[in-house]
Structure 1
Amino acid sequence: MTLDYLPFLFSLIALFYSSVGFGGGSSYLAIMSLFITDFFEIRSTALILNICVVTIGTLGFIRHHVFNLKLFWPFLLSSIPLAYLGAQVKLSQTGFFLILGSSLIISGGFMLLRYMRAKLYSKEFTLTKKMALGGSIGLLAGVSGIGGGIFLSPVLNLLNWKDPRTVASLASVFILMNSIAGLVGLTVAGTFQLDGNLIWKLILAVLLGGGMGSYLSNRKLNLRILGGLTAILVIYVGARLVLVHGFGIAI
């Protein structure tokens, strides 16, 4: 595969991930690491694409009255500043991908356990618990170079916070806010870099895929199936990153 195929592939990734409220940043990072040597360009590009996809998703959730700021603000208040700080942490390329891959494996495992349950029910969290979860995952999001929704959503689902569609809407806006904070952090740290010729092709591709995925998400499809499939994909991406960058084994 060459860079010419990336827009098509990223469009499919955006479609799939946006259907469950994610931006696809983890897969963008994993795939770009195979073709782009500039580590900082990879992180910057993934955050830009995340913002494009989840902006569409967030607007869709607002339009369909799923988004609820009264429920969400504690997660966002604590996560945004920590995502900004996390983005300024300068890791080696190997360390970065090992942290990202390990986090994705754990995240995907939690997500899979949640969607394998026979019954999905919901409960409320305290303000302190919301802020603690938002802050810790926001920091991890900033360090790993993605929006963090892919970490937050499985944890909330496993802990039975609200229904899967409400969690997906929070994940979407969580990714949006933390990706913006992450970009600001990269800029302040002097590590924001983009390929001007490639980025516009990828933006158009993910906007198309993200728009389609957001439409499917709000058609009230079976989110158990979509969530389970996404969990399997997340685990695969995480395992591949760990094996390739940690042990030099390609799968």
Structure 2
Amino acid sequence: MGHWEIFLLFLIIAFVYSSVGFGGGSSYLAVLAMYSLPYQEIRLTALICNVIVVVGGVYIYIKNKQISWKKVLPITLVSVPMAYLGAILKISQETFFLILGITLIIAAILLWIKTETKNEEKVSQESKSAIVRNSFLGGGIGFLSGLVGIGGGIFLSPLLNLMKWDTPRKIAATSSVFILVNSVSGIFGQLSKLSVDIDYFRILSLCLAVLIGGQIGSRMSLKWNPLVIKRMTAVLVLVAGINVLTKYW
């Protein structure tokens, strides 16, 4: 595999993100976008790596009963088919990189914003209007996720924080589930129209990197500051977004 440094970068990203309960999909995409790789491979790789890293976190959230399914289901049920539709939509490489660049810049802004969330004791029940709103929100982010090749948590989590949707823990759990189901849906969409130019050895190598990094990070439980991680990611994603726009547009 050419560009062996990508393997190391993916391992480090998975290690850091898994230690604070994140997936790291946006950073995988940001790194891959800086190399002249087939855009279909970029999307598929980021989605598979997302699943590998986040599935352990989802299991822990479910085991610890930290997921409010009544609030999660309206978001995810609509997002899954929309992510698949976004993944199978035929777009040119130029259009993909244009959308990717804009998406990364918007994501960087959302990641940088510091938000206050609900207190554990002040969480209210979902109203019917809130369920409809959450469904539309999940569907829109799901479609964009499938189109670009991310799980969508990079958009969902900051928006839910801005909306004071729930406690930080519940938002993190919801985002993990959202990332997992949308990544799986996006993978199925990508597999339905793969190109022969895809380097499967490179994809498997990067999957191994995030598996190693993710397993080590999740077991070490380091005391990283989530805000610092978010803002470091924001800078990386912003640079990648600007680089994509200047390179391909």
TM-score (norm 1): 0.84
| Equivalent residue number for residue 249 of structure 1 | none
Partner residue, 1:151: 155
Q: Which moved more, 1:20-29 or 1:202-211?
A: 20-29
Q: CA deviation at 1:82?
A: 0.4
The SS at the match of 1:67 is coil
| RMSD, matched Cα | 2.6
Structure 1 residues 205-248: Cα deviation after superposition (integer angstroms, max 9, x where no partner): 1012223444466x7764333333333333333233223322xx
Distance 2:135 2:195 in 1: 28
CA-to-partner distance for each residue in 1:73-100, whole Å, 9 max, x for gaps?
1111010000000101122222212212
Counterpart of 1:72, as a letter, is V
Q: Which residue of 2 aligns with 1:225?
A: 228
- The Cα of 1:200 is off from its aligned counterpart by 2.4
2:166 counterpart of 1:162: yes
Calculate percent identity across the aligned residue pairs: 43
User: Match of 2:242?
Assistant: 239
Change (3 A) 1:189 1:199: closer
Question: Following the alignment from structure 2 to structure 1, what is the Cα–Cα distance between the partners of residues 215 and 98?
Answer: 31
- Matching residue of 2:134: 130
Structure 2: stretches of 5+ with no match in the other structure: none
Q: Which residue of 2 aligns with 1:121?
A: 118
Query: Does 1:185 find its partner at 2:189?
Result: yes
1:139 Cα deviation from its structure 2 partner: 0.6
CA distance in 2, matches of 1:197, 1:45: 11
CA distance in 1 between partners of 2:83 and 2:74 (Å): 14
How many residues align? The count is 242
Q: Take 1:220 and 1:169, find their aligned partners in 2: how far apart are those partners?
A: 18
Work out the CA distance in 1 between the residues paired with 2:68 and 2:220. Answer: 20
Residue 13 of structure 1 is matched in structure 2 by: 13
Give the distance between the partners of 1:33 and 1:224, measured in 2 at CA: 24
* Code of the aligned partner of 1:59: Y
Residue type at the aligned position of 2:177: V
